[in-house]
Amino acid sequence: MRTTVSGEVVSLTGNGADSAIEVRGLCKSYGETRALENVDFTVRSGEVFGYLGPNGAGKTTTINILSGLLDRDAGDLTICGLDIVQDPVAVKRRIGVVPEESNLYPELSCRRNLEYLGELYGLSRAARRNRTDELLEAFNLSDKKEAPFRTLSRGMKRRLTVAAALIHSPEVVFLDEPTAGLDVPSARALRGLVQTINRNGTTVFLTTHNLAEAEALCDRILILVKGHAVTEGTAAEIRRRVEKATSVSVVFSDHAEVEMLLEACPAVHSASSTEGTWCLEASDSHAALTQIISFVEQQGLRVLEIGTSTTSLEDAFMTILKEDVKREPRP
């Protein structure tokens, strides 16, 4: 599948090699509402894959379909090489799911919640006890092992919910808004756990509205808008696809004329000065910096401060949403 962002053709399919998840032509409707329309993507084994989009884009619907909780209308879907329709039980043994709202039992203790889930997955008594102790220790919950789930803080509840999804050592884990509503320390701790899970070999499928979080955690990102996959790549690749200019801030040692600066620096297409700080918009940051240094030398000036800022993933995300609004209505 291919689509365009700001006129550029963008591939939305992976290389097919060593893939944990393969999705081709995924469609799902609720009555007259099309939640997903011909969505294609590949998640490579061992990566953190970000699945981003505004509310109502179809993210949770996708997770529910891939985890076997919801039937798709059309599409070929495999996880770890297994067809999720033909081999649903085998697929479920290979995945873990952390829903947006916890699905653990409030009256059971942390230990009992994990052991019970281990029992459902067919782990022996010794295996589930060992795995429970291992996860409680890894998630810093050992001192709460006998506490009922309902008595935990929100951050602890999220940590235990993630631990529960890992009780059977899945190859792929789905995380649906894992840090939503958490305070800063709890969110940071949970992000660290996600990185640890991934370093230990688990493929992570992540949805989040925190774009900084996605940029820090994800190897690759797909952006979904109104049920359509519109672009995919690393955070840097997505930023470059929509980036139109780089901002350069400069403080010179003395006064400079704007007309002379623009004439000497063709890569700079606009310039303004406020209290001695020049704000420049450049089409090519490398060319602009080279030309600015040359201009400074010609004018006998010195650069006291200089810095550049590029498009953030959040800026790119908003640009993509605006581009989607401008498109013709989809059939």
pLDDT value at 84 more than 60: yes
Question: At 59, phi and psi to the nearest 5?
Answer: -65, -55
pLDDT value at 46 more than 70: yes
Stretch 28-51: mean pLDDT = 96
Residue range(s) in the chain whose domain bears CATH number 3.30.70.980: 245-310
pLDDT per position as a tens digit, 86-144: 999 999 999 999 998 888 999 999 999 999 999 999 999 999 999 999 999 999 999 99
Nearest by Cα to 64 from 90, 42, 46, 84: 84
pLDDT per position as a tens digit, 185-217: 999 999 999 999 999 999 999 999 999 999 999
Instruction: Count the Cβ atoms, other than its own, within 10 Å of residue 207.
Output: 23
**Amino acid (one-letter) located at 166:** L
pLDDT per position as a tens digit, 253-299: 888 888 888 889 998 988 888 888 888 888 777 888 899 999 999 99
Estimate to the nearest angstrom the gap between the alpha carbon of 31 and the chain centroid. 29
pLDDT value at 3 more than 50: no
Instruction: Count the Cβ atoms, other than its own, within 10 Å of residue 154.
Output: 13
Say which CATH class 245-310 falls into: alpha beta
Decide: helix, strand or coil at residue 259.
helix
pLDDT per position as a tens digit, 148-190: 999 999 999 999 999 999 999 999 999 999 998 899 999 999 9
**What's the per-residue H, E or C state across 38-102?**
EEEEEEECCCEEEEECCCCCCHHHHHHHHCCCCCCCEEEEEECCEECCCCHHHHHCCEEEECCCC
Question: At 16, phi and psi to the nearest 5?
Answer: 80, -10
Sorting pLDDT into bands at 50, 70 and 90, what band is 249?
A: confident
d(CA 63, CA 172): 12
Residue range(s) in the chain whose domain bears CATH number 3.40.50.300: 2-94+170-241
- CATH code of the region 2-94+170-241: 3.40.50.300
Chain mean pLDDT for the chain: 89
